[in-house]
Every structure is written in structure tokens, then in C-alpha cells.
Structure 1
Amino acid sequence: AGLAAAVLAACGACLVFGLLTGLGVAAQGVPLAGAFALGLGFSSTGWVFAGVGAVAAQLTWGASGARGLGIGALVLAFLLRAAGDGSPAGWLAWLSPIGWAHRLRPFAGEQWWVLAVGLFATGVLVAAAVGLSARRDLGAALLPARLGRSGAKASLRSPLALAWRLQRGTLLVWTVCLALVGLLMGGVAQNVAETMRDNRAVAEVLSRLGGGGAVTDAYLAGTMTLFGLAAAGYAVQAALKLRAEETAGRAEPVLATAAGRVGWALAHLTFAFFGSAFVLTVAGWATGLAYGSGSGLVPAALAQLPAVWVLAGLAASLIGVLPRFAAGAWGLLAGFLVLSLVGTALRWNDVVLGISPFQHIPRLPGGPFSTTPVLWLLLIAAAAVIGGLFALRRRDIPVG
């Protein structure tokens, strides 16, 4: 029952995400079939990896082991897709769920039957997970767990090293996922642009979302905004790891050593700030690779960083000043997302839209670059972090 509920919840979430993606893209005036093919392609890929996760959960004892197997499956799928698209052996891409999403051909003569491939693979994986679940003992796993070390490595005896150990899985998952999305978005960019050129209403919406310029540039600029919002999600999650460690009682033993509060906090915030830069770099590179511009879209992706860092700084401030409401950082991100996407498309008041830091980011590629708003955003992010660290030094840390 627990396995079935988890799989249904994951597949349901993927379906909702795909439908919302289709609705969001269709709202820009593009053909409905192509919009929902794009969204359901995401859903289909998610369903397959939900099945992969179900199997991995039966094979391993802990979440970290299952996550490792899942990431390995993602990497393998990415390599198969890349090998299939970059060599005469195109059939290799059919071995990858990511390749199936591309074979749906959104905006280019949709092949709906490809969805059946994803559904069949998901069914096989879920059936395998059910069979494995019946073979293992409750609370055990089919693969034996490794014994841990009796003492920490020398390389783990610093706040930054410990933060890396705790944050690396999250960073890897976000990086791989955004790279895969970048490959898909970059791969369909030319087809989407060709479809939109004859539609003035769509061109106008893209101009608002992507900052004007050529249709292709506007589409890619809008894609970079989506990546910025996603990277902000990673930054918030990485920053909130501080609060998670605190509430779980694991921060107090660390702070009882020579590590100070500021050093401990900065170790985790390092990943919120520089990890988000890495995620955006990979996402921009993957999009450019699929689109055919190589690393040309990396600067456009990195232009989102000041807004991302504002979110990370606000999360740090909440942790220091209002720790019980630290999760409110997710609410801020959700609000900025609505303002940046829905509000922009519907032409909300500029004063209201200006609340979102993403409204002040240069729309690249194709748009003009202005230094002043970028510097203001960086200043706000720095002030938020400094304020959060100052408050963290002065407030109580729960013990045990």
C-alpha cells in the first residue's frame, strides 16, 4: 500500500506538472497540440523515473542509496540520448526516456504513440518494484548496506567539508535535472520559433516574457528566466539546510567544536550561492548545446544570478531573524514565480511586477544589459545575508 501510494503520488505530480506546463505554453498562443506534447513529454519522463525510484527503494536500505541509483539512471539516460543524437546509431536514443520525450516531436508533427512507450516502461518498472517488495523483509533491502567508518575522514573535519557531504546530492540532482530540461528546451527552440513567427499575439507575449528582439531570442530569454526560478529553488533548498540541521539537533554538536556559527552558516550558504551559479552554468550550456550555439547561452543563464542570490539572501535572513518561519522562503519564491510568469504575460501593473527581483534581470539573449539593477540586486542579497548572519549569532540554537 505504501509503495502504491508513493508511486501514484509521484506519477500524479508529474501529470499535473505536465498539464500545467502545457497550459502555460498554450496560454502564449502556440498550437495546443504542441504545447501539451511538450508538457506530457515531461510527464512521461517523470513517470519512468518514478518507476526507477520505486525499484531503487526496494534495492537499497536508505534514501541516499536509492538517490544514488536514481541519479545513475538519469546519467545513463542522458548518455544514451546524447549518443543517439550525436552518432549514426540513432536507435540508442530510443533506449532513453529522455529520448522518448524528444521523439514526441512537439510543434513538429506530434507522434502521440510515443507516450505509450513511456507508459509501458513505467508499468514494467512498477511491477518489478512490487515483485521485489514481496521478496524483501520489512525494513530491509535486497542489497546489503555498507558499514560506516568508525571515525570521520580528515577531509571531513571542517564546516565546509561537512556541508559538501550534506549538500552534494541535492546539487547533483538539480544540476542533472536542469541539464536535461535544457537539452529538451534547446532542442525544440527552433521549431517553436518557426511556429510562432506568423502569430502576432504570441510574438507580443514572448516580447514581454523574453524582452523583445528576435522570436528565437525572446523564447530563449524566457527559458533563461525559467532556469533562474528553478535555480532559486535550489538556492532556497540549500540555504534551508541550515534550519533542517538545527531542528534535527545536528547543528549543536558541530557548534560545540571550534566551528563558529558564522563559519557553519557560511559553509552551507556557499552552496546556495555558488551551487546555484554552477546549476545555471550547466543549464545554459545544455540549452546552447541542443540549440547549436555551444556555450553561447551560459552568460544569458548566469545573468539570472543576482535575482537567485536575492532569494538565497532572504532565506538566510529568515533563518537568522524568524527561524520558525524560514520555510516562508518557498512562499516568496512562489510569489516571485507568479509575478514573473503569470503577471508579465497578463500585463499586471509595473509596480506590482517590480516586487519580483527577476523583473529587473536583463533579458538575454537579445535584450539590453543594464548594470544598475544588477548591482542593486547584489547589494540587497549581500545585506540580507549579513543581516541573517548577525541575527544568527545573537539568537538561541536548540540543543538536542
Structure 2
Amino acid sequence: MYTEELIEIKDIDSYPNNLPSIDYKAFADDLNKIRNEISTDLSEKDFKHLKKIERWGRVCTLLGYSTSWIVPNPISAFLISQGNITRWAMTTHHIIHKGYDKVPNIPERYTSKKYAVGIRRFIDWFDWILPEAWNHEHNILHHYYTGEVSDPDLVEKSMDIVRKSKIPAFFKYIAILFFMSTWKLSYYAPNTLWILQQTKRKSKKNREVMEKIPAGTYPGSKLLIPFSKGSGEFLLKCVLPYFLARFVLIPALFLPLGKTAAVFVLINSILAEIITNLHSFLIIVPNHAGDDVYRYDTGITDPAEFYVRQVAGSVNYNCGNDITDFFHGWLNYQIEHHLFPDLPLLKYQEYQGKIKEICQKHHVPYIQENVFKRFSKLLKIMVGKTDMKKTSTIPRKARA
């Protein structure tokens, strides 16, 4: 639930509401009842389920690398990539969100206080992205400013220059494809670190930092420039450790099988990195974009308004079983995850149907479509063919 910053709206009439008629209090009450039901339903079953999904990811990684020395091939690369996606989107994502902190008898290393913290970064989630930077950018800014100008993942804002550009659409799509293939290194890692640096350095509130970022830019790009302010930290903490481990150390382990084997592992590792970028982009970015998804120009005034915005500003994909969910990175429950970020994987699967019924009961727009349909809608937003819906939810004082 939203806890960080509530906004006091003074001029209510200046915030038009384009959503259906919603009883905010009744909607919030129903969701809170479900939340309480879920809290009492947490058990060791949730941890066992997490361990199963974690094992699936490790098996993918093992199979990928154990075959990668034979010949460069997309199957080995995909398996390595799926292991990477599992560590990021399924285990790290939900553990850092405190999804397992309240599960009975949970080992301490699977709690948000220990997982990927300090030296455990190299054990739990070793990637281009610094865990504490991603935790701040994603868990705080994205989740609690969803769809606002302060949301670092608001596609319509970050792609503003491309959207307004007069260049042919073909070249826009080529640029997007390149960006998709590299986005963890070229966008996510530097952007999350830059935002964390600014927040620490200037001791400013998150909203102040984010609102000063011009549309059509991502400030983390500054860290990609050698010798620029903060670029040294990016190089030493994000780029070099992962590059040396993934593309030097791991291929070198296969040298006893011959130089050719090591080169093949390197090639498959590079292919796996590209696939990871493409796959993660496909399942992450469409979650909050489309001409049927809402964005907001104002802050919220209470938790009920937060609930409405999270549903109307998010999108689910097909879901309902472990295999489907595994290949969607469990990001196919985005609505439920944005309502209740601190739940185990299994609980989203078990309670998605009930939450959808509550949304439909209260006429809160609930979108669920095939991921490729959502990706198509995302592309149209990115190149400027369509626009997201804009609205303000009804402030608390206007509901009396």
C-alpha cells in the first residue's frame, strides 16, 4: 500500500476525471479484505514454490552452459537467458519487494534484508544492474508514482523525442530494436544508478529529482560518457564486474576443453545476453503502456486512489499456471503485483481471479491480453502513433 507521499489537492476542478464512476471507499475496502485474507494464508508452501521456480531457473542455466561449448546455438543461449530472467524477474524481484519476509520459517537469506545485499549480490543476483539502485528506482519510484511524470518507467515521457521526431517510422523501429537488445546495460543499469546517486547526493525527495528530468531523456545516459560525474562508480560497480564474470571468467572455465570450446561459450553468452534483453523488454515494458492504459499528471491523496490508479495504469498478460508464468517472468500478474507488491509468487496465481472480480464489480478498468498484443500497443506508443489515456482520479476531499 502507498505510504511514502500523499498530495494535498487544493483546486479540485482542475483535475478532470475520465474514469468510470467508482466507489473508491468500497473498492478499497474489498481489496483490503482480500489483502487480509492473503496475509493469513501465507505458509511454507509459498517458500517451497519459490524454491521450485528457483530450481527451474538453475536447471536452465546448467543445461545452457553444459551444451554451450559444443557449438553456438540459440537453444543453449535461450536456456542461459531463461536462468538469468528467473534470477531477476522471479526470485530477486519478489524477494527484494519483501514478498517472503512474512512467510513462516523463511531462511534469512531469502528475506529483503539479506538477499543480494553486499557481497551476496555476487551470489543471489549478479547482473549489470546494482541491486540497491534497482530497489530504489523500481520498488519505490516506479511502484509508488506509477503513471505519473515522476515514474522513471513512464514510456510516453521517456520516448517523447522519438515520438515527436519527423524521421520515418522504419528508422524509429530500428532504433527501438537496438535499444531492446542492449537496454539492461544501456538504460536500466545507468539510469537506476544515476537516480540513486542524485537522491543520495542532493538529499532531495524522490519527486523533486524525477520531475526535473526533461521529457524524452533518460539521465543515466550521462554515466555512459567516460570521465563524467558518477561514471567511475558505474564502471566499477556495474560494468566491469559483470563483464569480466560473464564474458571472461565463465568462457575461460571451458579452456580445458580447448580454445574453440571457450570461444563457443563466449558466443553463446553474448547471444544469451541479447536474448535476455529482448525477452525482459517484451515482458516488462508493455505492462504500463498502450492507448487503453491511463497515465496521470497529479499525485494521489489517499490509498484508495492509489488502488484505482494501479489497476487502471497496469496490464496483465495470460496467466494461471507455473509454466506460462515462468516464461512471462511472473510479470503477467502486474495488476495484482502493483496493488500488493509484497506477496509471494504463488499468491498472485491463487488470488488473481478474485482480484479481477473485485475490479469488474467496481467498474475499475482491468486489462488482460496476450503479451504480443500488448507489445504491439507499446510500439505504437513509442513511435508516436497512439497516445496513452490521461486522467486524474478523484481526490479524497472531492468524494465527501
Query: What TM-score do you get using the length of structure 2 for normalisation?
Result: 0.30
The structure that has the greater radius of gyration is 1
Higher relative contact order, structure no. (Cα contacts within 8 Å, ≥ 6 residues apart): 2
Greater helix percent: which structure? 1
